[in-house]
Structure formats: C-alpha cells, structure tokens
Amino acid sequence: MTGKHKVLIVDDEVHIRRLIDATLKRVGYTTVEASSGREALDRLRQERPDVTLLDLGLPDRDGLELVPLFKQQSDASLIVISARDATEQKVAALDLGADDYLTKPFDTDELLARLRVALRNRTTRDGGATAVTAGDVEIDLLNRIVRKGGREVHLTPKEYGVLAQLAKFPGRVITHGQIMAQVWPREVDHHVEYLRVLVRTLRQKLEDDPQQPQIIGNEPGIGYRLRSGIEG
C-alpha cells in the first residue's frame, strides 16, 4: 500500500535526511527533502506530499511555528521529530495539529509504523472508515458498539467517549487535552484524574491482562494511543 506515497523529509542534518531517504525508498515510498523551514514550505506546495516528517530543530524557524503553517497549506499528515525531550513541546506540537511525534534517536521500525498509521488515518479521514480493531477488540464507531472476542462489552457513555476519541485515529497519540475537550466539552478545568480513572475501567473491560495493557498505550505526560495492530 505504500507504493505511490510521497514523504517530505525536513531536517537540517544531511546525514539523517539521506538515511531516512534510503530507508523509505527501500520500502517503496517516494521522497522529497528539505533542509530549512523556508524550503520545506516551498516543497510542500510544489510536491504535495502525503506525509511530512518535520524536525523541530531547524536553523531558520522554530519548528513549532511551522506546525500550524503546514496544516493550513496542506492536508499531508505531519509527524514531528524532535531531539529535545521536552514534553511540553511535544504536547504543543500535537495540540497545534501534528499527527504524531518521534524522539531522536528513533527506531527505524517505529518510524515506519508511525508512517503507516499516519497514512492510514489520512485515508480514514477521507474515506470515513467506521470500524477499528485493536487486538480482539472491535470498535464500531457508526453504531457505537464495542465487542471483545465477538461479545459486546457494555461501556458507560464517558468510557465510550474516551475510547472513540482514540479509535478515530488508531495508532496515533491523542493528548489528554484533546480527549478531555471532546469527552467533557463543557468543563473549563479538566481533571486528568477523571481521565485516568476512566482509562483504568476501560482497561478492566477490554484488556486480557489489565496489568499489562496491550490495547490502550500510555505516553507519559502526553496522552494515550490505541494500539491497533500496527505496532512493531
């Protein structure tokens, strides 16, 4: 399925660009490179890539400033790559519209998995897929039904709300703020503890072993991710 997909690689380090380029070409992607924010915006307009890999540490612009520009000017999925492990920055990039993030140094397999997720979510967004599978859990977003091993699981409306937020973009990290804004739209002060408790009860109902969760993954300080059969 990766045949014709085009990836824009934005990084000021020529070695890293070349290596990512070689890795992606080997598995069948087409690639475009850019070494600065300016160049990246030009390439984005000319080449119309399907996914952008954006390194946040660019010489000419703060990568965070570029995130909203990229989302405005293109419908390409956006994966930010950062060598900085500042959690705030990752959350900010995600809340500004980035689809996912990777921290340098990253695993090649992980990069490829994130790319697949980003591309699939892009198709989902356009085509409107309505059912998601994670392990033996099926989530039917159209009829609001959740099954585990073929058997329907009863979820409270809030539990379903949290799960549905994750299932809309399976495999992608969704920040706490993004989930809570959807599930508690009227609350001004969001309490992460409510979300924690809901995730805990969701795991009790959905995971084979709630102590070692395989379906809902946690990104410390950032958000949750539905592990939807594409990891590893």
Partner 1 sequence: MNAPPSDRQASSHPATPLHGYIAAALAVIAMTAISLLLVHAIALGNIALLYLVPVMFAAARYGLRAGLFAGLASSLAYNFFFLPPTGTLTVDNPANIISLLVLLGVAIVTSQFAASARAQAQRAQESARQNAMLAGFSRHLSAAAGQEELMQSVCTEIARLLDVRAILLTPSVEGPILRAAVPPEDRIDRIEAAAAQWAMDHLQPAGRGSITLTASDWLFHPLHTQRGVVAVVGMARDDGDLPIPTGHDALVTSLLDQAAVALDRMALEDQMLEARQVAERDRLRAALLSSVSHDLRTPLTSILTAAQALRQEQGSTLVDTIESEAQRLNRFVANLLDMARLEAGALPMRVEATDLLDAVSAAIADTRQALAGHMVTVDLSPDLPLVRVDPVLLHHCLINLLDNAGRYGAPGTTVIIRGRSEADAILLSVIDQGPGIPAGQEARLFETFTRLAGSDRAVHGTGLGLTIVKGFAEAMGLSVAASNVADPSGACFTIRIPDTVMIGNMTLKDLA
What residues make contact with partner 1 under the rule CB under 8 A? 13, 15-16, 19-20, 22-23, 26, 57, 83-88, 104-109, 156-159, 191-194, 196-200, 203, 210-213, 217-221
The residue among 51 and 216 lying less far from partner 1, judged by its C-beta, is 216
Show Cβ contacts of residue 202 under 8 Å, excluding neighbours closer than 6 positions.
155, 159, 162, 163, 216
The residue among 86 and 131 lying less far from partner 1, judged by its C-beta, is 86
Would you state the structure tokens that stand for residue 75, as one six-digit string? 């419908």
Would you state the structure tokens that stand for residue 220, as one six-digit string? 């410390």
Residue 38 CB, shortest distance to partner 1, in Å, is 20
The residue among 73 and 103 lying less far from partner 1, judged by its C-beta, is 103
Report the SS3 class of residue 203.
helix
Residue 228 CB, shortest distance to partner 1, in Å, is 15
Residue 45 CB, shortest distance to partner 1, in Å, is 28
The residue among 68 and 221 lying less far from partner 1, judged by its C-beta, is 221
Residue 204 CB, shortest distance to partner 1, in Å, is 8
Hey, which residues does 217 pair with through a beta bridge?
225
Pairing of strands 145-148, 6-10: unpaired
> Alpha-carbon distance 54 to 35, whole Å?
10
Residue 10 host element (H or E): strand 6-10
With beta carbons less than 8 A apart as the criterion, state whether 226 and 170 touch: yes
